[in-house]
A and B are shown apart, each in its own frame.
Chain A
Amino acid sequence: MLNKLLASLDESERAAVDDEEYAVLKAVAAELPSVKRDVLELIPTLQLIQTKHGYLPRLALRMVADHLGTTVSKVYGIATFYNQFRFNPPGRNPIKVCLGTACHVKGGEIILENFERRLGIKENETSEDREYSLERVACIGCCALAPAVVVGEKVEAYVTPSKVEGIITEIEVRKEMAAREQKKDEE
Chain B
Amino acid sequence: MKSNKSPEEYLKEHADEARAAVTALKNSSNPVIYVGAATCGRAAGALETIAGFETALEENGITAEIRKVGCLGHCYAEPLVIIQNPGFPPLLYQKIGAGEAGILVRSFLKDGSDPCYEYLIGALEADENFPTLMDYPRYLYEKRVVMAHCGLIDPAEIDHYLAVGGYESLASGLKKGSEWVLEEVKSANLRGRGGAGFPAGRKWEIARQVEAEEKLLICNGDEGDPGAYMDRTLLESNPHQVLEGLALAALAVGAEKALLYIRAEYPLAVKVMESAISQAESKNLLGANILGSDFSLAVSVFQGSGAFVCGEETALIESLSGRRGMPKLRPPYPAVSGFAGRPTIINNVKTLSTVPSIIKNGAAWFLDIGTPDSPGTAIFSVVGEVEYPGLVEVPMGVTLEHLVVDVCGGIKNGKELKAVQIGGPSGGCLPASLMDTIIDFDSLRSVGAMMGSGGLVVMNEDTCMVEVARYFTDFTQGESCGKCTFCRIGTRHLREILHSITIGEGLPGDINDLTEISEAVVAGSLCSLGKTAPNPVLTTLRFFRDEYVAHVEGKCCPARMCRTLTAFYIDLEACARGCDACVACCPTESIFTTSNRKKAIDQEKCVKCGECVYACPPEYDAVRRVSPPELIPDQGVEPLPENEKEESEA
Contact = CB atoms under 8 A, between A and B. Distances in A.
State if A and B touch, Cβ cutoff 8 Å.
yes
Interface of A: 39-44, 46-47, 51, 77-78, 81-85, 99-102, 104-105, 107, 110, 113-114, 117-118, 137-146, 148, 155, 157, 160-162, 164-165
Contacts of B385: 105
B496 interface: no
A69 to B, nearest CB: 12
A81 B78 contact: no
Nearest to A102: B383
Interface in B297-312: 302-303, 305-308
A45 B229 CA distance: 27
Contact of B322 (A41, A110, A113, A143): A41
14 contacts: A40-B321, A47-B264, A82-B307, A84-B265, A84-B306, A100-B226, A102-B383, A104-B471, A105-B463, A140-B39, A143-B227, A144-B389, A145-B40, A161-B609
Contacts of A164: 587
B322 A39 contact: yes
A108 to B, nearest CB: 10
Contact of B609 (A84, A107, A141, A146): A107
Given A101-B421, A155-B42, A157-B44, A139 B227 contact: yes
Contacts of A157: 43-44
Nearest to B607: A113
Contacts of A155: 42-43
A77 B43 contact: no
Contact of A114 (B389, B421, B609): B609
B227 A145 contact: no
- Tell which of B320, B384, B424 has the most Cβ of chain A within 10 Å: B384
Nearest to A42: B322
* Residue of B223, B227, B228 with most partner-chain A CB within 10 A: B227
B63 interface: no
B139 interface: no
A82 B325 contact: yes
Contacts of A104: 226, 471
Q: Lowest 3 A-B CB distances belong to which pairs?
A: A144-B75, A101-B227, A141-B229
Most B CB within 10 A of own CB, among A39, A51, A144: A144
Contacts of B607: 110, 113
Q: How large is the interface on B (under 10, 10 to 19, 20 to 34, 35 or more residues)?
A: 35 or more
Given A78-B322, A145-B43, 9 more contacts: A51-B264, A82-B305, A101-B383, A101-B384, A105-B385, A105-B468, A139-B224, A141-B266, A165-B587
B416 interface: no
Nearest to B233: A141
Contacts of A117: 587-588
Contact of B78 (A99, A118, A145): A145
B49 interface: no
Given A82-B325, A117-B588, A143-B381, A43 B305 contact: yes
B611 A161 contact: yes
B327 interface: no
Interface in B581-614: 585, 587-588, 607, 609-611, 614
A185 B331 CA distance: 68
Contacts of B389: 102, 143-144
B475 interface: yes
A84 B324 contact: no
Given A144-B383, A148-B43, A161-B609, A138 B229 contact: no
A64 B302 CA distance: 19
B226 A85 contact: no
A140 B322 contact: no
B119 interface: no
B307 A81 contact: yes
A142 B40 CA distance: 5
A140 B385 CA distance: 19
B401 interface: no
Q: Which of A101, A118, A160, A162 has the most CB of B within 10 A?
A: A101
A152 B630 CA distance: 43
Contacts of B457: 101-102, 105
Contact of A105 (B302, B384, B481): B384
B459 A105 contact: yes
Contact of A141 (B40, B303, B421): B40
Contacts of B348: none
Interface in B20-75: 39-40, 42-44, 75
B201 interface: no
A92 to B, nearest CB: 20
